[in-house]
Amino acid sequence: MPIHEKSLLTPDQIMTADKLVIDGVDVSGHWNTMIKPRTITDYDPDFYKKIEGLPGGENVSRCWQCGSCTNSCTMYAINPDFNPRYWIYCTNLGLQSEIVKDKDIIWQCVSCNKCTNICPKDVKPEGVMKALAHWLELEGHTPKSKSSVFDEEFTRQCLARGRIEDSEVMFNFFKKTDQDVVRLVKTGWLGVFIARMNKWTELRAGRWGKFLARMPITGPLKMAWAMVFKPRTKSWGRTGEVLAAYVEEQKRKAHAAH
Amino acid sequence: MNDTILVVGAGPCGLSAAHAAATAGKRVVLVEKEQVLGGAPILSGYARLVPSGEWAKDAIGRMVKRVEDDPAVTIRKGSKVTKLEGEAGDFTATLSNGEPVQAGAIILGTGFTHFDSINKPEWGFGTFEDVVTTTQVEQMIGAGKVYCPSDGRVPERVCILLCVGSRDRQIGREWCSKICCTVSTNLAMEIKELSPKTDVYIYYMDIRTFGLYEDKFYWRSQEEFRTKFVKARIAEVTRGADGRLLVKGEDTLVKRPIVIPFDLVVHAIGMDPNTDNPEIAKVFGIELEKHGFIARNEHYTGSFATNRPGVYAGGSALGPEDIDTSISHGLAMAMRAIGDLNALARKAA
C-alpha cells in the first residue's frame, strides 16, 4: 500500500533494521522498515511564557494563524521549510520538539520585517524569530553566536574590574571563537587594520621622523602592561558581585514578565 | 376587529414584543409553556450574558418584571396554544386549559432547543461524566465553581469543542449556530477568572465571533486570558488509563494526529429548531423552512411575517439568534403587528 502524505515524514521517524524479529516472526528484508507514530500526546502549556519573556517574543500569543507572515517571508521564498507561522503555533501550544527540529534554519531570518508590517494581529513575527533563536541558544540547542561570546567576555571583565581592556577582550574573543590571531594578522583583516594604523607610505618615502611620530608605541605598551597586571577601577570592591546579582535578577524578572 | 395581541413564548423575544405592544396601547396576552418566564437564559441558568456581561437573572429578570408589572399584559404560564381559528384581525386561540383567547395578531417568540449532545456519541457526552455542555458550564459559573462532575476536582486543563450540533451534515445540522464561538470564548475567560491556574483550549474549525464580538471576546480571551486555539475537529473522546479524558483528532495546522489528555471536555452545543416546531406549525398553520425553523416570508417589505397573515415569528424561532437581536426582533414584530392591525382597521372603516 502506498504511504499517504509521505512528505510529512522526517528521516528521524523512519526505523530500519537489518535483522528484525517480531513476535517470533522473522520480518527481515522487505518488511524491516517501520515508521514511528506521529501522534502528539501532550502540550507544554507554559512554553509560550519562555518565548514571551525574551525580547521580540512579547506578542506571540496573539497569533491566529492567518499565515500572512509566512506568505510575505523573504526566507520562505528561498526555503519552503522556513515557516514562521508554524513555529509561532508550536510556541503557543508548547510543541518544543517541533521547534528544535528546525533549529538550523530559524536563525536564518534576515529581519526584513515584511511579516511585522503585514501581521493583522501585531504579533511581530520577526521578533518572535529572534526570541526563538535566542531560546535555542540559551537551551544549548544551537552553539553560542560569536556576538554572545563577545558580550560574555566584555561583561566578565566589566564585572571583575570595573573596566575593560580592549586587547584582552579581543584576544579572549579570538581564542574562544577559535580564530587564529597570527593568521588574521598575516592574511586576514587584522593585518590590514594594523597596516592602516601605521604610515608605511611615509617610511617608503624615507620620512622616518613622520613615520615614527605616527607609530603607536605608548598605546600598545599600556595595553601589554594592563594585560599582565589586570588593574581594577579604584575602590571597585564588591561592586561587581552586586552588579552581577542585580543583572541576574533583572533578567529573571524580564523573562517572567508575561 | 380585535385589538389584543397574543404573544407566544416568554423568552427575550416574546418579553420584548409583549412589552412593546403594551406600551403602544394594545392589550397583550402572553402565553408561556413553562411555569417560569424568561426563556432559555433563565430556564437553562445562563451566567453572564454576551455582550453586556450582566448576569442573566438580573438582565432577563428586569424584562420579566417589566411585563409582570404591566396591567395591559395578561400572563398565562404553563399553557400552550392548542388550536387557532379565524384570520388576521380576528383570531380565536384555544389554550391548553381550554380557555379561549381573542386576538387580532399573533407573535411567535417560540425560540429554539439546545442541541442534545447525546446525538454525537463519539464525543463522550453521556458516557463520561466529565464531558459536559456549555450550558452546564454556564450553571457552574453561576454557582461560582468550575469542577469535574466525576469527583468535584478543579480541572487543570479544559477543552471546549466548537460546532457540536452545528455545521454537521452527518446529523442533519447544516447551519452555524452563530453564537457558540462567542459564548465559548466568554466561558474560557470566566473559567480563567474563577480558576487562574486552569488552561483552556478551544478546538475549532473556524472562529465566528461576528461583528463587535471579535476583539471583545475572541481577541481578549486569546491575548489577555491566554486561551489556546487549536485547529482540529475532534474525532473521538475516550478515557486514558489514569482516568483523564483523551481527546483524539488531527491538528490540521501541524498535520499530525493528536491524543491530548484533558480533565474537562465541554461541548459548545448549537441551537436546534424548537422540538415543538412541528406541533407549532400544525397549530398555527404555518410552514417550517428546510432545517425545521419557522419559515420567514419575504422580509424586505413584509418583515417577520410567516406564510399566514397576522401570524409573525422572530428571534431564535427563525434560526440561531443571539439575545440582543432576539429582543430587537420582539420590538420589530410588535411594530409590524400593530401596523397591520391599523391597516385592517382603516380598510374596515
Asked whether the beta carbons of residue A40 and residue B256 sit closer than 8 angstroms, the reply is yes
Calculate the average pLDDT of chain B. 97
Mean pLDDT across the stretch B244-269?
96
> How distant is the Cα of A24 from the closest Cα of chain B, in angstroms?
29
Nearest Cβ partner for A39 among B157, B229, B258: B258
Complex ipTM: 0.90
Does residue A249 belong to any structural domain of this protein?
no
- Using the predicted structure, report yes or no on whether residue A211 has a pLDDT greater than 90: no
Calculate the average pLDDT of chain A. 90
Say if residue B287 is in the same domain as residue B304. yes
Nearest Cβ partner for A8 among B226, B255, B261: B255
Radius of gyration of chain B (CA): 22
Say if residue A132 is in the same domain as residue A152. no
Say if residue B61 is in the same domain as residue B142. no
Max mean pLDDT among A24-38, A165-179, B73-87 falls in B73-87
pLDDT at position B1 is 83
Nearest Cβ partner for A39 among B199, B226, B256: B256
Confidence class of residue A204 from pLDDT cuts 50, 70 and 90? confident
Q: Is B252 on the interface with A (CB under 8 A)?
A: no
- Residues on chain A touching B256 (C-beta within 8 angstroms): 8, 38-40
φ, ψ of residue B128 in degrees (nearest 5): -115, 135
Q: Which residues pair with B86 in a beta bridge?
A: B91
Domain finish residue from B209, B238, B270: B270
Domain finish residue from A76, A103, A138: A138
Say if residue B155 is in the same domain as residue B188. yes
C-beta separation of A39 from B246 below 8 A: no
In tens, the pLDDT along B10-21 reads 999 999 999 999
Mean pLDDT across the stretch A16-24?
84
Confidence class of residue B303 from pLDDT cuts 50, 70 and 90? very high
Asked whether the beta carbons of residue A64 and residue B207 sit closer than 8 angstroms, the reply is yes
- Residues on chain B touching A37 (C-beta within 8 angstroms): 257
Say if residue A154 is in the same domain as residue A227. yes
Provide the pairing of β-strand B245-251 with B234-239: antiparallel
pLDDT at position A91 is 97
C-beta separation of B191 from B226 below 8 A: no
In tens, the pLDDT along B166-216 reads 999 999 999 999 999 999 999 999 999 999 999 999 999 999 999 999 999
Say if residue A53 is in the same domain as residue A118. yes
From B253, which residue of chain A is nearest by alpha-carbon distance? A86
- Residues on chain A touching B261 (C-beta within 8 angstroms): 42
Say if residue B59 is in the same domain as residue B165. no
Q: Is A98 on the interface with B (CB under 8 A)?
A: yes
pLDDT at position A3 is 59
Say if residue A174 is in the same domain as residue A226. yes
pLDDT at position A131 is 97
As for how many domains chain A has, the answer is 3
pLDDT at position A209 is 86
DSSP symbol at B218? I
Say if residue A27 is in the same domain as residue A76. no
pLDDT at position A133 is 96
C-beta separation of A227 from A168 below 8 A: yes
Mean pLDDT across the stretch A65-93?
96
pLDDT at position A5 is 67
Say if residue A157 is in the same domain as residue A78. no
**Of B301, B302, B333, B290, which Cα lies nearest the Cα of B315?**
B333
Q: Which amino acid is at B207?
A: I
Asked whether the beta carbons of residue A45 and residue B260 sit closer than 8 angstroms, the reply is no
Binding-face residues of B in 212-251 toward A, CB within 8 A: 219, 222-223, 226, 228-231, 251
Residue A255's SS3 state is helix
CATH of the domain at B300: 3.50.50.60
Asked whether the beta carbons of residue B254 and residue A65 sit closer than 8 angstroms, the reply is no
- Using the predicted structure, report yes or no on whether residue A7 has a pLDDT greater than 80: no
Does residue A244 belong to any structural domain of this protein?
no
Domain finish residue from A120, A138, A156: A138
Confidence class of residue A4 from pLDDT cuts 50, 70 and 90? low
- Residue with the bigger pLDDT between A6 and A118: it is A118
Q: Which residues pair with B272 in a beta bridge?
A: B113
Say if residue B339 is in the same domain as residue B257. no
Full residue range of the structural domain in which residue B343 is found: 4-111+274-348
Per-position DSSP letters for B49-102, written without gaps between them: PTTT--BHHHHHHHHHHHHHT-TTEEEEET--EEEEEEETTEEEEEETTS-EEE
pLDDT at position A202 is 84
As for how many domains chain B has, the answer is 2
Say if residue B147 is in the same domain as residue B241. yes
Cα(B315)–Cα(B323) distance, integer angstroms:
8
Domain finish residue from B255, B270, B285: B270
Q: Is A70 on the interface with B (CB under 8 A)?
A: no
In tens, the pLDDT along B154-170 reads 999 999 999 999 999 99
In tens, the pLDDT along B89-106 reads 999 999 999 999 999 999
- Using the predicted structure, report yes or no on whether residue A256 has a pLDDT greater than 80: no
Say if residue B124 is in the same domain as residue B253. yes
Full residue range of the structural domain in which residue A21 is found: 6-35
C-beta separation of B284 from B106 below 8 A: yes
pLDDT at position A15 is 84
Which residues 6+ apart lie within 8 Å of B161 measured at CB? Answer: B123, B203, B234, B247, B265, B266, B267, B268
Say if residue B158 is in the same domain as residue B81. no
Say if residue B292 is in the same domain as residue B187. no
- Using the predicted structure, report yes or no on whether residue B121 has a pLDDT greater than 80: yes
Cα(B281)–Cα(B190) distance, integer angstroms:
39
Domain finish residue from B250, B270, B290: B270
Say if residue A80 is in the same domain as residue A12. no
CATH of the domain at A79: 1.10.1060.10
C-beta separation of B123 from B340 below 8 A: no
In our burial notation (b when 16+ CB lie closer than 10 A, e otherwise), range A109-142 reads: beeebbbbeebebebbbbbbbbbbbbbbbeeebb
- Report residue A222 CA to chain centroid gap: 34
Percent of chain B having pLDDT more than 70?
100
φ, ψ of residue A15 in degrees (nearest 5): -110, 130
Q: Is A9 on the interface with B (CB under 8 A)?
A: no
pLDDT at position A218 is 85
Least confident of A8-17, B68-77, B253-262, B293-302: A8-17
Does residue A161 belong to any structural domain of this protein?
yes
Signed CA dihedral, B241, B243, B244, B250: sign only:
positive
C-beta separation of B143 from B169 below 8 A: no
Does residue A41 belong to any structural domain of this protein?
no
Provide the pairing of β-strand B112-114 with B271-273: antiparallel
Say if residue B57 is in the same domain as residue B172. no
Confidence class of residue A36 from pLDDT cuts 50, 70 and 90? confident
Question: Number of residue pairs across A and B with CB atoms under 8 Å?
Answer: 53
Does residue A67 belong to any structural domain of this protein?
yes
Mean pLDDT across the stretch A143-172?
91
Asked whether the beta carbons of residue A61 and residue B222 sit closer than 8 angstroms, the reply is yes
- Residues on chain A touching B201 (C-beta within 8 angstroms): 43
- Residue with the bigger pLDDT between A76 and A17: it is A76
pLDDT at position A16 is 83
From B250, which residue of chain A is nearest by alpha-carbon distance? A39
- Residue with the bigger pLDDT between A194 and A108: it is A108
From A37, which residue of chain B is nearest by alpha-carbon distance? B257
Q: Is A217 on the interface with B (CB under 8 A)?
A: no
pLDDT at position A26 is 84
- Residue with the bigger pLDDT between A20 and A131: it is A131
Say if residue B104 is in the same domain as residue B129. no
pLDDT at position A226 is 87
Asked whether the beta carbons of residue B256 and residue A61 sit closer than 8 angstroms, the reply is no
In tens, the pLDDT along B310-325 reads 999 999 999 999 999 9
Mean pLDDT across the stretch A186-204?
85
